[in-house]
Amino acid sequence: MYRTLFSVLLMLLGTIRIVAQPADVLLREQVDEYLIEARRGVSEAQYNLGVCYLNGKGVTQSYEEAAKWLEKAAKQGHIEAQYNLGVCYLKGQGVGQDYAEAVKWFALAAEKGDVDAMYNLATSYMNGEGVVQDIKKAMLLYEQASAKGHVQSQRVLGDCYFFGMGIPKDYKKAIEWYTLAAQNGDADTQYELGFMYYTGNGAEKCDEMAVFWFRKSAELGNAFAQYMMGNCLEKGEGIPQDLDEAMLWYEKAAAQGHEGAMKKIEGKETKKWEK
């Protein structure tokens, strides 16, 4: 069974962004320096101290202490602190979960050009979480983030046009955004773009283009694309038939739990695989 063509990416990014920190041995000494500077009101030190508490690096992990120091830095305009504090409110880490407060901090970071914050703010507007739903504003923010190379925003714009989410369906524009995300290395979008060309759903059917994108996605480890590479090689669709290479891709997909690939391997083992 093939996977459902698309999974709409209207989810907020919930990952704290971490900057590079010194090695653990040095961190224990560095934390003391961060603390001294943080108490003096230095925003970068406050942010670094917050990150240390988030990860338990050089200190005992404490989301409460992390949120406290991130907020001090965020109130001074530290962009990374504003974004990460927004994530804390989004996930309820060290503070009570509060979507409106998350939106507030994402908006401040987005105004300064932070692309992850733009994406989260756009998604909040798209879903009406923490803010009044506003599809047009969401689309504008996604486009702004996409222009700065934010791959998830590019993919979501493709979804919006493909499914007609708050806007009229437009397969041509969907293809444009999906292609941009795929070219920027998003394995899921590469697979889905390949599937569009394979089925002719939303794009003119072209097995060669399907194989082109399946291969890129498969090489990045996407199990569905690995299965489809096996399928195309087995049938000689868009690529010369090669049962040996097909089985290699099936084995890769099966190793990730793909049921269809597992059945292909079982078929070979029970003499059902014929050249």
The domain spanning residue 252 has which CATH number?
A: 1.25.40.10
Query: Domain of 20?
Result: 1-140
Residue 8 identity: V
Read off the amino acid at residue 163.
F
How much is the mean pLDDT over the chain?
Answer: 89
pLDDT tens per residue, range 110-138: 999 999 999 999 999 999 999 999 999 99
Same domain for 216 and 119:
no
The angle subtended at Cα 81 by Cα 76 and Cα 85, nearest 5°, is: 110
| Widest CA span in the chain | 74
Amino acid code (one letter) for 241: Q
In the chain, the amino acid numbered 185 is G
Q: Is residue 22 domain-shared with residue 130, that is, in the same domain?
A: yes
d(CA 16, CA 81): 10
Cα–Cα distance, 124 to 134 (Å, whole number): 9
Residues 133 and 245 in one domain: no
Report pLDDT for 258: 95
Do residues 211 and 246 lie in contact, with contact meaning Cβ atoms separated by under 8 Å? no
Residue 9 is assigned to a structural domain of this protein: yes
Provide the terminal-to-terminal Cα distance of the chain, rounded to the nearest Å: 23
Rounded Cα distance between 92 and 114, Å, is: 21
- Residue 32 covered by a domain: yes
Tokens representing 133 are 């739903």
Q: Which of 120, 140, 160 is the last residue of a domain?
A: 140
Are residue 120 and residue 194 in the same domain, yes or no? no
Question: Which residues, other chains included, contact 207 with Cβ-Cβ below 8 Å and sequence gap of 6+?
Answer: 197, 198, 232, 237, 238, 239
pTM: 0.82
Give CA–CA dist 4/204, Å, rounded. 19
To which residue do tokens 């404490």 refer?
62
3-class DSSP state of 195: helix
In a domain, 273, yes or no: no
Residue 199 lies in a domain: yes
Please tell me which residue, 55 or 106, carries the higher pLDDT value: 106
Per residue in 136-151, pLDDT tens? Answer: 999 999 999 999 999 9
Tell me how many domains the chain contains.
2
